[in-house]
Amino acid sequence: MLVTRSNVRLLVEFKMKMQDIFEMSDLGIMNYFIGMEIYQCRSGIFISQRKYVVDILKKFKLESCKEVATLLAQNEKSSKNDGEKLEEPSAYRSLVGNLLYLTATRPDLMFLAGLLSRFMSSPSNVHMRVAKRVLKYVRGTTNLDIWYLKTREVKLDGYADSDWAGSVYDMKNTFGYVFTIGSGVIYWNSRKQEVVAQSTAEVEYISLVVAANQGIWLRKLLADLGQEQNSPTELYCDNKSAIAIAQNPVQHGRTKHINVKFHSIREVEKNSLVKLHYCSTDVQLADIMTKVLPKSRLEFLRLKLGMSKANLKEEC
């Protein structure tokens, strides 16, 4: 994913050292790995799971199903008590497991895959219907790949976002974050928060803290790869109040109830590891990790994340 001359040199040196210690066979340039297809060319790298998608559709007999443009109907929410419980939940669990593995190259599926995994213990026919709708969406977007353009500068940027009381069962929130380098997203996640927040500012603040921790880990990983980040990692949020809480060391009454561990972001920014920035909701990339989106918004964010219908002959 980091297509630079220094990285190529480091990988070659690492390979030579490994060959001195272990008996190894050189299989050439990687093009397929644990279900992921990799195509490398001068312009960059494509990563996809097209064959895996085809196998999933055949497994659940949906290879000829009608395609849908969105993952879920707008304003539709799922709860533990929806519908009648499935007599044989194994098929549902298998489907959700396949979707979770597919998120390795499909960040647009991360929110729904995480949502459906919450009902693994006792799925219903409604949950199964939603899961199959996701597969119908996948069938219509089989040719989507993540496209990493070749770049000279390796700069890590992050986006953090959260919904507000999105879970109708326990009123907890779903937060998500994405990190990009150059043209494509390299790290993404969507999770339900462990606490019930009392305001949108608190929700966004907690998501910023979690994203900042992941950003620090990625900075260390990049440093090990010879791509040390000399400037703070810019972390974008669409809530000004959350940024103000993070940047103000004074303990206001409205923040006393927030767990002490969440205030670590202040030290992180003070040490110039992370720099917080405000961004409008329109350009918040992590929005795709926290809620169901309409078609136009979904397509826009997919493109911003580096997902596109690859035409290898034209691109390379």
Return mean pLDDT, the chain: 83
C-alpha closest to that of 76 among 148, 129, 27: 129
The region of weakest confidence among 9-23, 96-110, 236-250, 271-285 is 9-23
For the residues 146-155, what does the mean pLDDT come to? 83
pLDDT-based confidence at residue 206 (cuts at 50, 70, 90): confident
Distance CA 195, CA 192 (A): 9
Q: What is the pTM of this model?
A: 0.82
pLDDT-based confidence at residue 91 (cuts at 50, 70, 90): very high
Report CA Rg, the chain: 21
Ranked by mean pLDDT, which of 18-32, 72-86, 220-234 comes out on top?
Answer: 220-234
For the residues 139-146, what does the mean pLDDT come to? 88
CATH of 153-306, one of 3.40.50.12500, 1.10.8.80, 3.30.420.10, 1.10.1060.10: 3.30.420.10
Rounded (10°) CA dihedral 131, 136, 139, 145 = -60
Distance CA 127, CA 130 (A): 5
The partner residues of 147 in beta bridges, in order of sequence, read 46
* Cβ pair 285, 237 in contact under 8 A: no
Give the pLDDT confidence score for residue 261 in this predicted structure.
Answer: 58
For the residues 279-284, what does the mean pLDDT come to? 91
Give the pLDDT confidence score for residue 15 in this predicted structure.
Answer: 67
| Torsion region of 186: left, alpha or beta (phi above 0 gives left; psi -120 to 50 gives alpha) | alpha
pLDDT-based confidence at residue 130 (cuts at 50, 70, 90): very high
Parallel, antiparallel or unpaired: strands 144-149 and 307-309 = antiparallel
Q: With 60 as the cut, is the pLDDT of residue 4 above it? A: no
Number of Cβ within 10 Å of residue 275's Cβ equals: 13
Distance CA 120, CA 164 (A): 23
Give the pLDDT confidence score for residue 3 in this predicted structure.
Answer: 45
pLDDT digits (tens, 9 = 90+) for 224-259: 888 888 899 999 999 888 888 887 755 555 565 565
Tell whether the torsion through CA atoms of 130, 135, 141 and 145 is positive or negative.
Answer: positive
Domain ranges of the chain: 153-306
For the residues 169-195, what does the mean pLDDT come to? 84
Pick the residue with more confidence: 59 or 81? 59
Structure tokens at 270: 């003070």
Give the pLDDT confidence score for residue 218 in this predicted structure.
Answer: 93
pLDDT-based confidence at residue 100 (cuts at 50, 70, 90): very high
Give the pLDDT confidence score for residue 2 in this predicted structure.
Answer: 46
Give the pLDDT confidence score for residue 157 in this predicted structure.
Answer: 93
For the residues 103-116, what does the mean pLDDT come to? 92
